[in-house]
A and B are shown apart, each in its own frame.
Chain A
Amino acid sequence: MSTPLLQVKDLKVAYGGIQAVKGIDLQINQGELVALIGANGAGKTTTLKTLVGMIKPVGGEILYDGQPTARLPSYAYVKHGLAMVPEGRGIFSRLTVEENLQMGAYTRDDKADIAIDMERVYQLFPRLKERQKQLAGTLSGGEQQMVAMGRAIMSRPRLLLLDEPSMGLAPIIVQKIFEIIRMIAAEGVTMLLVEQNARLALQTANRGYVMESGKITLADTATNLLANESIQHAYLGE
C-alpha cells in the first residue's frame, strides 16, 4: 500500500497547561472520507486546527504526503493542498460571494483553471451563482456554509478538512450539504469530517475515529461503528 496522505503519530496539543489532545494516532489514505466523531470538548476541532498549522502541537508528528509539516508556515498549507472549512464557516462577510470564492484560489495563478473551478462550484451550488454579487454576510446560514465549502474547493485541495458542516443549519439544509460532501468525495478529494451528528457522518464516511477527552478510543470502518452497540448507545441515541 502506498504511503497514507496524512499520518498523525502521538499528537499532543495543549492550551497553556491544559492538554486538549493527549497523544493520538490518525491515518487518512488517498481518496478516503474519514469521520472524526465525539462529544463537545473531546478535542476534535483542536485536532483539525493543529493539522492545518493554526495551532502548534507540543508533541508528536504530522506527516502529510510523507513529509513532516512542523516547519511549514501556516499560510503555506493551502498551497500544498491542505484546506479547511472552519467551524462557524469563517467566510469574509464583507466580500461578495464571488470574491470569497476567488479568495479560495488565492494561492493559484492559473487563471483559466480558476475560471473552470468557479463554474464547477456554481454548478454544485446554483444558489451561489444567483447571489454571486451579494455580500456574503447577507446570505442565509446554509448559503454561507456553501460559500465556505465552495471557497475550499477553489483551492483544489488534496485533503479537505471539514469542521462541523452541519452546525446551526436546518435539517433539510444539512441533508443538502452532505449530498455535496458525497459529490466532492466522489470526485476523488480526500476528506476528514469532524461532526457532532455522528449518524450522518458515519453514514457518509468510509472509516471513523471516535474521540473522547483528548484520546482516540475507537477506530473502525464506518459500517462497523454504526453497528457497534456502545457507539449506538453513546452517540446515536439508540
Chain B
Amino acid sequence: MPVVFLKTRRQRQIGLFIFAGILLVLPWVLGAGFESGKSWIRAVDFALLYIMLALGLNIVVGFAGLLDLGYIAFYAVGAYCYAIFNSPQLQAVMPLWLQHPPFLIMVVLCALVACVFGILLGTPTLKLRGDYLAIVTLGFGEIVRIFMNNLDRPINITNGPQGINNIDPVHLAGYNFGKPIYWMGLKFEMVHTYYYLILAFCCLIIFVTQRLQYSRIGRAWVAIREDEIAANAMGINTRNVKLLAFAMGASFGGVSGALFASFQGFVSPESFVLMESIMVLCMVVLGGMGNIPGVILGAILVSIVPEILRDVINPLQEGLFGRRIVDPENLRMLLFGLAMIIIMLLRPEGLWPSRRRRAELHPTEAIAEQEKSDMQDAERVHG
C-alpha cells in the first residue's frame, strides 16, 4: 500500500507492522471499549466481508471496465453452495460422504461454483458494454435470487423464502468456530474467531488482487478497457481475458459467500437483493475504482459509517429534541445518499483514486501535461 508519508522501505515496514498490530488487537479494543462491543466486532466482521466483495467487483468494474450490477449473485451462489453441503437441508438425499466436507475444500468448491456462474454470465454478454451490460447483469442478479426463492419446488433444494437454517460453523484444525475457544487465558467468542478467519481470507484476497493488478493479465484488462481493438492487435485474446475477469471476480464473491453462510448459520434470498449489489458498487466507486487501497477504504466507510450513525442518531435526537423524531434507519439512508451525491459531485474519481482513473476524469490535467510536452518538443527543435 503506497502511503505517501512513509518514504523509505524501513518506514513502510514499520508502518505495516504497526498496522498489523492494530488489526490483531482491534476486536479486543472494541470489546473492552464499548458497551455493545460484540455488535461492533460483528460490524467489523461484515466490513471485512464487504472488503472482499468490493475487491472482487473491482476486478470486473475497476480493472476490466465491465459494469456489473448483479455481483451479489456470486455471493449468493457461494453462500448457498456452502449452506447446501453443510446443513441438514439435503441430508436425506445426499450421499453421506458428500455431507459436511472439510472447510478448506468447501471454500475452494464455493469459489469454483461461483467461477462457473461468472463464466455463465460472461459468455453471453461478451459483446455488450456500458449500459447494456449493466442491464443484463442486473437481470442475472435478480434471476439468481428468484431461483433461490423458488427452488423449493418441485424438489426442495433452497428451501425457498424461508432460507436454509442450521448451517455448520467452520471447523478448522480441530476447533469449532461456532463455540467459544479458550486460548492463552483469552476467551475467543464466535465474533472473535470469525474476525481472524475473515481477516486472513481478506489479506489473501488483497495480496492476490495486488499481484494481479501489475501482472500481464492486469495490464491486459486495462488495455481492453481503454481500447479493445488496439488490445486485440497486441495479441490479447479479448474474449478469454474478459471471461477471466468475470470468473476471478465471481470466485472472490463465492469465497465471501461461503464465509458469510458459515458465520450467519443461516441464508435466505433476502440477503442478496439488488440493493446489496448497488452497495458493493458504491464501495468501489466511492473509494476509487481500480485502486486497491481506495476500494478497501470505500468498503469500510460504506459498511461501518451507517453502523456508527445508528448508534449516534438516537442519543443525539433524544438529547436535542427529547424524543425520537425520525426513524434512524430512514435517516441513515438519507444521509448516506446525500454523502454519495456530494462525493460524486466533488470527487467523481473517488476518495482515493488510481492515477489512471484520475487521468480519465480530469482530462484537462492530462491535456495540459501533453501540451507541456509538445512545448518542450518545440523548444528542443529550436534550441
Please state if A138 and B235 are interface contacts (CB–CB under 8 Å). no
Q: Does A92 contact B (CB under 8 A)?
A: yes
Q: Which residues of chain B are near A84, meaning CB under 8 Å?
A: 233
On whether A78 and B227 interact (CB within 8 A), knowing A106-B216, A138-B369, A139-B370, the answer reads no
Q: Does B327 contact A (CB under 8 A)?
A: no
Please state if B355 and A135 are interface contacts (CB–CB under 8 Å). yes
Q: Which residues of chain A are near B381, meaning CB under 8 Å?
A: 170, 172-173
Residues facing B in A48-106 (CB within 8 A) are: 52, 54, 73-79, 83-84, 86, 90-95, 99, 102-104, 106
Chain B's closest residue to A84 (CB) is: B233
Q: Does A143 contact B (CB under 8 A)?
A: yes
Please state if B226 and A54 are interface contacts (CB–CB under 8 Å). no
On whether A135 and B235 interact (CB within 8 A), knowing A92-B223, A143-B373, the answer reads no
Query: Shortest Cβ distance from B229 into chain A, in angstroms?
Result: 7
Q: Once bound together, how far apart are the Cα atoms of A75 and B378, in whole Å? A: 37
Q: Which residues of chain A are near B223, meaning CB under 8 Å?
A: 92, 95, 103
Please state if B227 and A92 are interface contacts (CB–CB under 8 Å). yes
Q: Which residues of chain B are near A135, meaning CB under 8 Å?
A: 355-356, 359, 366
Q: Does A2 contact B (CB under 8 A)?
A: no
On whether A94 and B356 interact (CB within 8 A), knowing A141-B374, A143-B373, the answer reads yes
Q: Does A47 contact B (CB under 8 A)?
A: no
Please state if B370 and A92 are interface contacts (CB–CB under 8 Å). no
Please state if A107 and B374 are interface contacts (CB–CB under 8 Å). no
Please state if B229 and A54 are interface contacts (CB–CB under 8 Å). yes
Please state if A140 and B377 are interface contacts (CB–CB under 8 Å). yes
* Interface residue SS majority, chain A: mixed
On whether A74 and B232 interact (CB within 8 A), knowing A137-B370, A139-B370, the answer reads yes
Chain A's closest residue to B230 (CB) is: A90
Q: Once bound together, how far apart are the Cα atoms of A93 and B356, in whole Å? A: 9
Chain B 109-124 interface mask (CB, 8 Å, partner A; 1/0): 0000000000000000
Chain A 166-181 interface mask (CB, 8 Å, partner B; 1/0): 0000101100000000
Q: Which residues of chain A are near B236, meaning CB under 8 Å?
A: 75, 106
Please state if B235 and A75 are interface contacts (CB–CB under 8 Å). yes
Query: Shortest Cβ distance from B241 into chain A, in angstroms?
Result: 9
* Interface residue SS majority, chain B: helix
Please state if B219 and A102 are interface contacts (CB–CB under 8 Å). yes
Q: Does B234 contact A (CB under 8 A)?
A: yes
Query: Shortest Cβ distance from A21 into chain B, in angstroms?
Result: 19
Q: Which residues of chain B are near A196, meaning CB under 8 Å?
A: none
Q: Does A142 contact B (CB under 8 A)?
A: yes
Give the residue of B226, B237, B373, B376 whose beta carbon is less than 8 angstroms from that of A94: B226
Q: How large is the interface on B (under 10, 10 to 19, 20 to 34, 35 or more residues)?
A: 20 to 34
Q: How large is the interface on A (under 10, 10 to 19, 20 to 34, 35 or more residues)?
A: 35 or more
Q: Which residues of chain A are near B370, meaning CB under 8 Å?
A: 137-140
Please state if A86 and B230 are interface contacts (CB–CB under 8 Å). yes
Residues facing A in B202-254 (CB within 8 A) are: 216, 219-220, 222-223, 226-227, 229-238
Q: Does B311 contact A (CB under 8 A)?
A: no
Please state if A79 and B235 are interface contacts (CB–CB under 8 Å). yes
Please state if A139 and B366 are interface contacts (CB–CB under 8 Å). no
Q: Which residues of chain B are near A83, meaning CB under 8 Å?
A: 233
Query: Shortest Cβ distance from A100 into chain B, in angstroms?
Result: 9
Q: Which residues of chain B are near A86, meaning CB under 8 Å?
A: 230, 233
Q: Does A155 contact B (CB under 8 A)?
A: yes
Q: Does B360 contact A (CB under 8 A)?
A: yes
Please state if B227 and A90 are interface contacts (CB–CB under 8 Å). yes
Query: Shortest Cβ distance from A155 into chain B, in angstroms?
Result: 7
The listed residue with most A CB atoms (<10 A of its CB), out of B231, B234, B355, is B234
Query: Shortest Cβ distance from B126 into chain A, in angstroms?
Result: 14
Give the residue of B230, B238, B359, B377 whose beta carbon is less than 8 angstroms from that of A137: B359
Chain A's closest residue to B229 (CB) is: A54
Please state if A107 and B230 are interface contacts (CB–CB under 8 Å). no
Chain B 348-383 interface mask (CB, 8 Å, partner A; 1/0): 000000011001100000100110011011100100
On whether A78 and B235 interact (CB within 8 A), knowing A92-B227, A135-B355, A170-B377, the answer reads yes
Q: Once bound together, how far apart are the Cα atoms of A120 and B38, in whole Å? A: 60
Q: Once bound together, how far apart are the Cα atoms of A92 and B232, in whole Å? A: 12
Q: Which residues of chain B are near A143, meaning CB under 8 Å?
A: 373, 377
Q: Once bound together, how far apart are the Cα atoms of A135 and B357, in whole Å? A: 11
Please state if A137 and B219 are interface contacts (CB–CB under 8 Å). no
Chain B's closest residue to A102 (CB) is: B219
Chain A 128-144 interface mask (CB, 8 Å, partner B; 1/0): 00000001011111110
The 4 closest A-B pairs by CB, nearest first: A78-B235, A140-B373, A138-B369, A107-B235
Given contacts A86-B230, A94-B360, A135-B359, 10 further A-B contacts (CB under 8 A): A52-B233, A54-B233, A74-B232, A75-B232, A75-B233, A90-B229, A102-B219, A103-B219, A106-B216, A106-B219
- Listed A/B pairs (8) with beta-carbon separation below 8 Å: A52-B233, A74-B233, A75-B237, A79-B235, A84-B233, A93-B359, A103-B234, A135-B356
Chain B positions within 8 Å of A, measured between CB atoms, are: 216, 219-220, 222-223, 226-227, 229-238, 355-356, 359-360, 366, 369-370, 373-374, 376-378, 381
Chain A positions within 8 Å of B, measured between CB atoms, are: 52, 54, 73-79, 83-84, 86, 90-95, 99, 102-104, 106-107, 135, 137-143, 151, 155, 170, 172-173
